[in-house]
Structures are given as C-alpha cells and as structure tokens.
C-alpha cells in the first residue's frame, strides 16, 4: 500500500473492510482473509503494470471502451435498452480489478461529484432517449453520496415513464454495510 501511495496509484480501504482482515497476514492460521486482501492490496506486478499504464493515452486504459459509448458526460450506453449513469467518480474503497480506475477522480479536487448542471445534461439525454428502459446508477460508488442526492437521482429517473428498472451498482454492502441505515432504506 505504501508503494502504491508513493507512486500516486489510487489505494483506498474502508475501516470496515480492513477490520475483516487479520493484522498478521503471514500467520498460517489466517489464510481465510487472503481473498479479501487480494481485492484491495496491490502486489508488485499490479503496481508495475499501473506504472506502465500511465505512459499510455487514457483511451488505452479504457478496456471497456466507455469513451466510445458515452453519448454525454456521466452516461455510458453499451446496450440498446440499458444505460449507465455515473453520478460520483470516486469510491471509498479502490478494488485492484476496477474497470473504471482510469476515470476515478480525486475527491479532494472536486471532480468526483459532478455539478448539478452536468447531471442535468445526463438526465436530458435519458429523457431524449425513450428506448432506454433500464438505468444502472454506478460510478465510482453512488452510495458514497448523500441520501438526499441519492433520493434526487432516484426520483428523477422514477419520473421518466420509459424507465422501467433502476439498479444501483455498489460495493458498499461489503465495504461499509453500516451505510445502509434507516434513513437510506
């Protein structure tokens, strides 16, 4: 983790997820948490590949080709009836297998949380595309935003008659389950 941080490679682990790991990773009796560690603690091969990737154009890091399937900011459309909206471009925990680590923003620089007018443009795109019947709210992790913002996003899509299904893509269930409090539910 120190090596990743020193090289500026995003590395975040929530306190809850960390609490699931044994403090002594080398003890044989603690083999049960190796899968947990492998998801978030970068090994040397991963670090080397990430450092090599920095020399590539950003487009080369987008192996899901989301740049090619994004009709407007914060929207990705891979399928004819399903589109993705990304209201938050950061995660409380960075998984080393993340398919969007090329576009994660530094939360501290204000880019992770799109301005309301930017989401308004994304909403307008959905309104103008009645063939979209399903929306996946993802990111980053959309449950890293406030309950009010989540409610606003859900309400906006619920008001679109052609949207029949709304899904939330999140790892919060395993990284910060306490986020699912009475207010959120």
Annotate the chain with DSSP letters as a single string: -HHHHHTT------HHHHHTS-S-TT-GGGGGGHHHHHHHS--HHHHHHHHHHTTS-HHHH-TT-TTTT-SBTTEE--SSSEEEEEEE---SS--TT-TTTTTPPPGGGT-SS--HHHHHHHHHHHHT-TT--EEEEEES-GGGS-HHHHHHHHHHHHT-TT--EEEE--SHHHH-GGG--TTT-
**Distance between CA atoms of 132 and 130, rounded to whole angstroms?**
5
Q: What is the pLDDT of residues 44-63, one digit of tens each?
A: 888 887 788 777 666 666 55
Q: Model's pTM, two decimal places?
A: 0.80
The pLDDT assigned to 111 comes to 52
Pair 127, 162: CB distance under 8 Å: no
Return the H-helix or E-strand segment holding 125. helix 116-127
Query: Where does the pLDDT of residue 38 fall: very low under 50, low under 70, confident under 90, or very high at 90 and above?
Result: confident
pLDDT of residue 108: 42
Dihedral class, residue 98 (left if φ above 0, else alpha if ψ from -120 to 50, else beta): beta
Stated length of the chain: 185
For the ranges 45-49, 141-145, 156-160, which has the lowest average pLDDT? Answer: 45-49
Contact criterion met (CB below 8 Å) for 162 and 132:
yes
Q: What domains sit in the chain, N to C, each tagged with a CATH number?
A: 2-59 (no CATH), 61-179 (3.20.20.70)
CB-side neighbour CA atoms (13 Å) of 137: 23
Q: Is the pLDDT of residue 169 over 90?
A: yes
pLDDT for position 112: 53
Residue-wise pLDDT for 94-142, tens only, equals 887 776 665 654 544 455 565 555 789 999 999 999 999 999 999 888 9
């Amino acid at each position: 983790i120190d090596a990743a941080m020193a090289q500026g490679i995003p590395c975040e682990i929530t306190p809850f997820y960390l609490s699931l790991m044994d403090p002594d990773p080398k003890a044989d009796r603690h083999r049960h948490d190796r899968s947990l560690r492998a998801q978030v603690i970068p090994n040397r091969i991963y670090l080397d590949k990430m450092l090599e990737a920095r020399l590539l154009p950003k487009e080369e890091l987008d192996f899901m080709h989301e740049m090619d399937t994004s009709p407007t900011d914060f929207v990705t459309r891979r399928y004819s009836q399903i589109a993705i909206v990304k209201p938050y471009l950061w995660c409380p925990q960075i998984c080393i297998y993340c398919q969007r680590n090329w576009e994660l923003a530094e939360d501290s620089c204000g880019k992770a949380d799109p301005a309301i007018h930017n989401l308004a443009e994304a909403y307008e795109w959905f309104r103008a595309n009645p063939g979209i019947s399903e929306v996946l709210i993802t990111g980053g992790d959309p449950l890293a935003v406030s309950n009010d913002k989540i409610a606003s996003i859900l309400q906006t899509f619920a008001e679109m008659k052609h949207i029949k299904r709304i899904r939330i893509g999140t790892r919060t269930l395993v990284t910060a389950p306490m986020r699912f409090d009475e207010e959120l539910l």
